[in-house]
Amino acid sequence: MVRNDLTGIKLKQTFEPLTGQGGFLAFGEYLRGMKLRERVATHLPAPGSNRGFGPDVFVQTLISLQILGGQTLSDLRELEREKTLLGLLDQTVIPDEDTVGQWLRRMGDPEKKQTGLVGLGEVRDEIAREILSRDGMKDYTLDLDASFLLSGKASAQYSYLKEKGYMPMLAALYENGLFVDDEFREGNVSPVVGHLSVYRRAKALVEQAGKRIARFRADSASCQTELINALEEDGVEWTITADKNSAVMSLIDRIDEKDWTPFPGAAGESVEVAETVHTMAGTTRAFRLIVKRVRDRSTPLSPYLVSWRYWVVATNFGSEWSAARVLEWHQLRGDFENFFKGLKNDVGVGYLPTGNLHANAVFFRIGVLAYNLFVGFKRDLLPAPCRTWTLRTVRWKVFSMAGRIVRHARSLVLKLAVNRESLDFLTLIRGQCDALFCSA
């Protein structure tokens, strides 16, 4: 027993079945309803012996760690504190960090054809298709980008940003925030590599759910002939940040001054917009170039010398879309950065566990799966006003409920130390979960 003389409060250890994350029960029940463990056991290789943990144990343990806020594999020790609660969700064992690290390496081993990583891709796609099947939408906007993950691992490679790390490629649906494809890559892989293949995989997944990709948005790394031609062939409307190469700048120079119109900008900025038509070598059709120019801030020479900064967007949107409207819509791709921040910081894939590229790819894909399951949890179970909550908010408002697990009349009861409003809210979520899965 330890006493603090400042407050007179004594500390004492207890072995009662307590939890500090009682609200996590609802998320665990959602995982059960989504048949996460069954899907993982189906698609990932089984252990090599009867004494080994199944892949479902590892995947559910890591997802629980990521959703509850763990940042490193060493945080699995803290997850042991919730062993009683997790046991209610059939998660009776928690592998130690060394065992998890070895499993990650095995699942990503190229000599074994990365069977674990491929299997996780199948699980990710199945989960995404099920969530899409319930969202009531028919078509989507696909945002695609390569995003940098800074890493201090000795084996990490330098990127074009002159920092060491990794450069995963991600594709997400703007309307619901689901990641529909991920490809984990070395930091020195060019951001322009692989865009067409990622688009085609994302398109195939959405179509398997009976939906379609109707719109596409990306930065200048996607300004590629093959991708643009594929989008045109598929009837997809698109906006892509254009390269400001000599051909594009020559076209901008030929825009008549009377064609520039004012565009909303920051306070004190002079912003104008205009458009022209462009084609690239190999593209099947010409397309619009929407050009925004911002006058450089005043200098002693500004009354005599005018200098502009340009931002250019290529698009096949029709003339019913004004240049200003196209720019405003393209700027919404900033939400993709918020999706990635949620994946990186809230789920914790920014803290990569090993120096092995392939093991990190497995960990990253589990993080994508955890993020998608959280998106599904919000969209399927939470009231509409709460569906914009971040994972951090849900941890604070839903998961962090202290409680005690007791057995009573041959049943288990989780007694929560919360007010009536919080108890009713959690009861509502669990009722939605029962209605969703038990009535199916």
User: Would you state the pLDDT for residue 411?
Assistant: 84
Q: Residue 270: which of 221, 240, 307, 220 has the closest Cα?
A: 307
How many C-alpha atoms does 345 have within 13 Å on its Cβ side? Answer: 8
The first and second tokens of residue 385, run together, are 């006003």
Q: Are 142 and 216 in contact (CB under 8 A)?
A: yes
Chain mean pLDDT for the chain: 92
To which H or E segment does residue 158 belong?
A: strand 157-158
Residues 6+ apart with CB under 8 A from 232: 283, 284, 285, 316
Using alpha carbons, select from 371, 397, 370, 373 the residue that is nearest to residue 386: 397
Q: Which residue is listed with tokens 């009354």?
A: 303
User: What per-residue confidence (pLDDT) applies to 435?
Assistant: 95
CA–CA gap between residue 146 and residue 387 (Å, rounded): 26
Query: pLDDT digit string (tens) for 40-57?
Result: 999 999 998 878 899 999
- The angle, 0 to 180 degrees and rounded to 10, between the axes of the packed helices 24-33 and 36-43 is 50
Whether the full predicted model's pTM is greater than 0.85, yes or no, is: yes
Residue carrying structure tokens 């700048």: 249
Strands 212-218 and 237-241: parallel
Q: Determine the average pLDDT of the residues in 131-158.
A: 94
pLDDT in tens, 246-289: 999 999 999 999 999 998 876 667 889 999 999 999 999 999 99
**Do 84 and 405 touch, CB atoms closer than 8 A?**
yes
**C-alpha radius of gyration, the chain, whole number:** 25
Long-range contacts of 121-124, Cβ-Cβ distance < 8 Å, separation of 24 or more: 121/365, 122/39, 122/43, 123/36, 123/39, 123/40, 123/43, 123/44, 123/59, 123/369, 124/179, 124/182, 124/365, 124/368, 124/369, 124/372
Residue 302: per-residue pLDDT: 58
Ordered DSSP codes for 299-341: -TTTTT---EEEEEEEE---TTS-HHHHHHHHHTTHHHHHHHH
Confidence tier at 9 by pLDDT (50, 70, 90): confident
Exposed (0-12), middle (13-18) or buried (19+): which is 143, by Cβ within 10 Å?
buried
Percent of the chain scored above 70 by pLDDT? Answer: 95
Neighbours of 308 (CB within 10 A): 15
What is the distance of C-alpha 288 from the center of its chain? 31
